[in-house]
Amino acid sequence: MPRLSEYKALLQADHVDPAILTALKNDSRIGAGKLLAAYQRREDHRAAEAVALKYRSRYERQLWGTYQYVAGLDEVGRGPLAGPVVTAAVILPHHFQWPVNDSKQLTAHERNVLYPHILTEAIAVGIGVADNCEIDRENIYHATELAMAQAVSHLRVAPEFLLVDAMHVPVDLPQERLIKGDANSISIASASIVAKVIRDRLMVMYDQVYPGYDFKHNMGYSTKAHLAGLAAHGVTPIHRRSFGPVRDWLNP
């Protein structure tokens, strides 16, 4: 009779011989039953992910019949008091299989795992940034539009169609705005992950440059620690002066 450690190793394969599963089912050892149950849970999870991925790629699959290069666009950072808004445009290959989802629904670890796979497997990735000065000058909505157009211009492969998370991109390309696009499109979800990881890493760096605001945890959002930093240290060069709490500190 095989040792449980041997069964465990065999169950790690991408394709498990049905005979092994039958043997485990007939094995009276408690450990064998636990291994089989864990394997079945993992397979159920994989099946659910495959169904979810197929659902979230429905817009891409409809468009791929007409357009080879479909770019998904999303932004991160419209709400914070400090730092830039970061946008990303991602063109995925038609065979992309990683379980991407709305970046807000993923843990930081999950985003960091998916991020290099997106960068490696994507046909093209473009980044756009609007800093706090541009946000103050243009307003946050228009600055985000301009950053999205910048992301499109930075794609090394020209897209033929854009899927955008609830915004319009000021470029001469056919496009569709999707409500909650990052949960309904794998291209937008991938862009959301890329933009989120890049912006978070930037804010962690800013935490070193401007200590006392807890940027590495709040990413520039209006938290208690951030507001306490404003009270103690004042406004930094990366703060958005047109946003209420910052404006209030500038004009007490």
Residue 44 has what pLDDT? Answer: 65
| Alpha-carbon distance values, 108 to 118, 150, 189 (Å) | 15, 26, 14
Tokens of 54: 């197929």
pLDDT digits (tens, 9 = 90+) for 148-192: 999 999 999 999 999 999 999 999 999 999 998 888 999 999 999
**b or e along 191-227 (b: 16 or more beta carbons within 10 Å of the residue's beta carbon)?**
bbbbbbbbbbebbeebbeebeebbbeebbbbbbeebe
> Residue 249's pLDDT band (boundaries 50, 70, 90)?
confident
Q: How high is the pLDDT of residue 34?
A: 79
Q: Among residues 183, 212, 209, 206, which one has the least CA distance to residue 72?
A: 183
Tokens describing residue 193: 């992950």
pLDDT tens digits, one per residue of 80-95: 999 999 999 999 999 9
Quick: pLDDT tens for 105-127.
899 999 999 999 999 999 999 99
Question: Within a 10 A sphere around the Cβ of 118, how many other Cβ atoms?
Answer: 23
Nearest residue to 127 via CA among 59, 206, 193: 193
Between 92 and 30, the more confident residue is 92
pLDDT for res 47: 66
Q: Which residues of 170-180 are buried (b: 16+ CB within 10 A; e: fewer)?
A: eeeeebeebee
pLDDT at 182: 85
Q: How far is CA 12 from the centre of its chain?
A: 28
pLDDT confidence band for 18 (50 / 70 / 90): confident
Number of helical (H) and strand (E) elements in the chain, helices listed first? 11, 5
- The answer to whether 152 and 71 are in contact (CB under 8 A) is yes
pLDDT at 9 over 80: no
Q: Is the dihedral of CA 165, 170, 173, 174 positive or negative?
A: positive
Give the C-alpha separation, 53 to 96, whole Å: 10
Question: At residue 210, does pLDDT exceed 80?
Answer: yes
What is the mean predicted confidence (pLDDT) over 24-35? 79
Q: Tell me what pLDDT residue 101 has.
A: 86
pLDDT value of residue 252: 65
Q: How confident is the model at residue 40 (pLDDT cuts 50, 70, 90)?
A: confident
pLDDT at 236: 97
